[in-house]
Chains A and B, each alone.
Chain A
Amino acid sequence: MNNEIIYSVIAIGIGVLMVIMAVIAILNNKLSVAIVAAGVVSLFASVLFLLMAAPDVAMTEAAIGSGLSTLIFFYVLNKIKRQNA
């Protein structure tokens, strides 16, 4: 019984952080901050998947959403900045 309450409190904390980072990702003016904030949202989502008893989905989201997706965004950002300067 104690375990359930601890997991629920952790999930609420992670959820509040996730929504705050998502709003930061949209409102900020710099592009690199927005991309990193989206990566952090994906990372917290992976932890939330693990709390909801889905280890396969957590592994996939961490590797693909938080790793490869952020990487591709930064490649595009580098190309655009180099062409702009």
Chain B
Amino acid sequence: MLRNFLIALVLASFGFIFYNLYNSYEPHTELTGIAAHYAENGASEVGAANLVTAVVISYRSFDTLGEITILFLTAAIISFFLKLSKEDEEKVIIHRGTSELLKTASQLLVPIMFLFGIYVFLNGHLTPGGGFQGGAIIASAIVLAIMANPNMTINHSVIIWVESLSGVSVVLIGVLGILLGGGFLDTTLDGYGLGEFGTIFSAGTIPVIYSLVGLKVGAELSNILNMYQKSQKEA
């Protein structure tokens, strides 16, 4: 009884705070401050047509580096937690058999989903999209393949090598930015300037960095989902 009363008190105080915030909110009518700087000079300084990509990779690239680190930590902790013992690893899942619809559809859909994911992160600087979305689509394709055939094993070393090499390459490109450009993770390097605006080879190092981020996120998310699938084998 006391617990319910305290919960109601907490919720009522939150409601009161939000009500005051909502009433005193005046929507903006102009872009102000740093958003105005990004809107005016984004195309000429960075060269990307998608301004959100320019903000994520070039202007606030340290936040993206932190996010990549957190995702890596999450994948490592889940691999550690859900590790199977040796005898459980060898077991074969006995089940009723997946339906015919799923098997046939997955054979058709998985290559198309892979292709779509690669398209999304390659064109991250021209259309809506980018590394994180493309990585999630690739992970969904791999999960569809796993669900259609639960005893299929994914080559673990391929995933580990793709993920590690992509992460190291992003940091190496950043260090190249210090040597040849304006700072860590700068997009224009000395010999590799901004291309023509609007083509696929524009915006300096942004396509390269976003493709590596897309591969890394895709590998990590499919590793997490593979761990969850394999944990079904445990007694």
Residues on A lying within 8 angstroms of B by beta carbon are: 55-56, 59-60, 63-64, 67-68, 71-72, 75-76, 78-79, 82
Contacts and interface: CB of A to CB of B under 8 A. Distances in A.
Nearest first, the 5 closest Cβ-Cβ pairs linking A and B are A55-B128, A63-B136, A75-B228, A59-B133, A56-B52
A64 B74 CA distance: 15
A23 B130 CA distance: 33
A5 to B, nearest CB: 17
B232 A75 contact: yes
A65 B229 CA distance: 19
A12 B140 CA distance: 31
B143 A71 contact: yes
24 contacts: A55-B128, A56-B50, A56-B52, A56-B53, A59-B128, A59-B133, A60-B132, A60-B133, A63-B140, A67-B136, A67-B140, A68-B136, A68-B139, A68-B143, A68-B225, A71-B143, A71-B225, A72-B224, A75-B225, A76-B228, A78-B232, A79-B231, A79-B232, A82-B232
Interface in B186-235: 221, 224-225, 228-229, 231-232, 234
Given A63-B140, A67-B140, 13 more contacts: A55-B128, A56-B128, A56-B133, A60-B132, A63-B133, A68-B136, A68-B139, A68-B221, A71-B225, A72-B228, A75-B225, A75-B232, A79-B232
User: Looking at chain A's contact residues, is the secondary structure mostly helix, strand, loop, or mixed?
Assistant: helix
Contacts of A64: 132, 136
Interface of B: 50, 52-53, 120, 128-130, 132-133, 136-137, 139-140, 143, 221, 224-225, 228-229, 231-232, 234
A78 B139 CA distance: 20
A65 B9 CA distance: 31
